[in-house]
């Protein structure tokens, strides 16, 4: 299957799809949720800070896009039961889930290996790896109700090649790539596709935290990346699975 270097989505390409976006209140996730709604999807907005989710909800409704749903959830404290309850609610409300974008992420602090502390390590693994694993596990039955479900994980350049001082965040992104590959391989004979997006340097608060001295105006914005998010959520990517793709191809 040829994977495009760019993609122009036609209006309504996500019509009637139900897509859950984690970290939908800010940064790339906020733009992804708005964009999916703009292209016709009913979006389930999951995030930690309720008022950020409400603001996205209001913006989607004001634009006249399909009415979204809100799931306030802190991935740091969420348990298997939270995800099972969420899956049951999605099943009852929508009868299926067509797309799942694992976007929420925690950077922590950049630090030499010798100074990595266990609580920070555990928080990052919890939010970036354990939460998406448990959530995907709980949502698989409802994803399988869709004809062509798509699961997208969010990786990073430091999840493909280690870099000094990126410690737990980088390890969590290597784990994300592994999770995606294992799941894609297990589901190879099904219609469920699983892929990773590496957004590349993008103008968000996470990037500003990692590179405080940088001129953010020189960076791509979340909107610049949306072609790949739309592609992977649309039926145009049916058959593409197990891939780790760059939203800013070289
Ligand atoms: P932001 O920090 O701007 O946004 C992160 C989002 O994740 C926020 O909506 C935040 O919610 C949510 N989140 C964080 N912790 C939790 C939690 N415990 N429970 C629920 N939600 C949580 O990051 P970006 O938009 O930049 O990053 C999005 C993804 O892209 C991440 O996975 C990141 O690792 C990845 N990435 C980003 C790059 C970049 O240059 N920006 C480069 C490579 C990868 P809240 O606002 O409520 O805290």
Which atom in ligand 1 lies closest to the alpha carbon of residue 104?
A: 7
Count the neighbouring beta carbons within 10 Å of the beta carbon of residue 243: 17
Which atom in ligand 1 lies closest to the alpha carbon of residue 200?
A: 42
Runs of H (alpha helix) within the chain = 27-38, 50-62, 80-94, 118-125, 131-143, 167-186, 205-210, 222-233
Rounded Cα gap, residues 101 and 153, in angstroms: 6
CB contact at 8 A, 76 and 134 = no
Distance 17 CA to ligand 1 centre (A): 23
Distance 125 CA to ligand 1 centre (A): 14
Give the residue whose CA is nearest to atom 9 of ligand 1.
23
* Mutation test residue for ligand 1: of 24, 27, 51, 198, the one with most atoms within 8 Å of CB: 27
Give the residue whose CA is nearest to atom 31 of ligand 1.
105
pLDDT at 242: 98
**Token representation of residue 217:** 């105006």
Tens digits of per-residue pLDDT, 176-215?
A: 999 999 999 999 999 999 999 999 999 999 999 999 999 9
Give the residue whose CA is nearest to atom 23 of ligand 1.
206
Q: Is the CB of 193 under 6 A from ligand 1?
A: no
Rounded Cα gap, residues 161 and 87, in angstroms: 34
Active-site amino acid positions: 169
pLDDT at 61 over 80: yes
Which atom in ligand 1 lies closest to the alpha carbon of residue 206?
A: 2
pLDDT at 2 over 90: no
Tens digits of per-residue pLDDT, 135-186?
A: 999 999 999 999 999 999 999 999 999 999 999 999 999 999 999 999 999 9
Give the residue whose CA is nearest to atom 6 of ligand 1.
23
């Amino acid at each position: 299957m040829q994977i495009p270097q760019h993609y122009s989505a036609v209006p309504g390409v996500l019509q009637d799809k139900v897509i859950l976006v984690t970290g939908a209140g800010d940064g790339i996730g906020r733009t992804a949720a708005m964009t999916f709604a703009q292209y016709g999807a009913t979006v389930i907005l999951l995030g930690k800070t309720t008022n950020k989710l409400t603001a996205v909800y209001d913006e989607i409704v004001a634009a006249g896009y399909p009415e979204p749903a809100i799931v306030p959830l802190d991935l740091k404290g969420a348990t298997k039961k939270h995800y099972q309850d969420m899956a049951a609610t999605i099943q009852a409300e929508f009868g299926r889930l067509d797309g799942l974008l694992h976007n929420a992420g925690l950077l922590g602090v950049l630090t030499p290996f010798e100074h990595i502390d266990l609580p920070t390590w555990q928080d990052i693994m919890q939010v970036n790896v354990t939460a998406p694993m448990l959530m995907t596990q709980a949502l698989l039955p409802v994803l399988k109700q869709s004809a062509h479900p798509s699961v997208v994980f969010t990786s990073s350049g430091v999840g493909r090649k280690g870099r000094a001082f990126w410690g737990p965040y980088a390890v969590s992104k290597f784990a994300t790539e592994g999770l995606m590959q294992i799941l894609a391989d297990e589901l190879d004979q099904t219609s469920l596709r699983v892929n990773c997006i590496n957004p590349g340097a993008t103008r968000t608060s996470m990037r500003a935290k990692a590179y405080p001295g940088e001129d953010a105006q020189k960076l791509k914005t979340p909107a610049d990346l949306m072609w790949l998010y739309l592609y992977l959520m649309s039926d145009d990517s049916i058959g593409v699975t197990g891939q780790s793709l760059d939203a800013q191809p070289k």
